[in-house]
Structure 1
């Protein structure tokens, strides 16, 4: 099962949409390029088990 969620790019601050694979676990980390400036963001994803609310933190990848 997949959902989408938004994060702000750690470099340019622009909003981005990403797909979240809910079957991959309640805590995930991966790198995704910004859709605006193309720089890599390290994403930390947390999913609430009861409500399936998604929180994403983005950091510089470096």
Structure 2
């Protein structure tokens, strides 16, 4: 659950970018471009790359 204008970021060593992106899209989030962090990513090893997927929940307009 994100408040309007909130941000979420997932870093994973798997290749689940498309699955995460679909979940974000289904939740109405704007998806930032997925990014390959390479093997120097957060917790990856030389045999496994890390990937980041980020999303933003659009801010709602308030009535004037």
TM tier relative to shorter chain: 0.3 to 0.5
Give 1 or 2: higher strand fraction.
1
**TM-score, L = length of structure 1:** 0.32
**TM-score, L = length of structure 2:** 0.32
Q: Structure with the greater relative contact order (CA < 8 A, sep ≥ 6): 1 or 2?
A: 2
- Structure showing greater Rg: 2
Give 1 or 2: higher helix fraction.
2
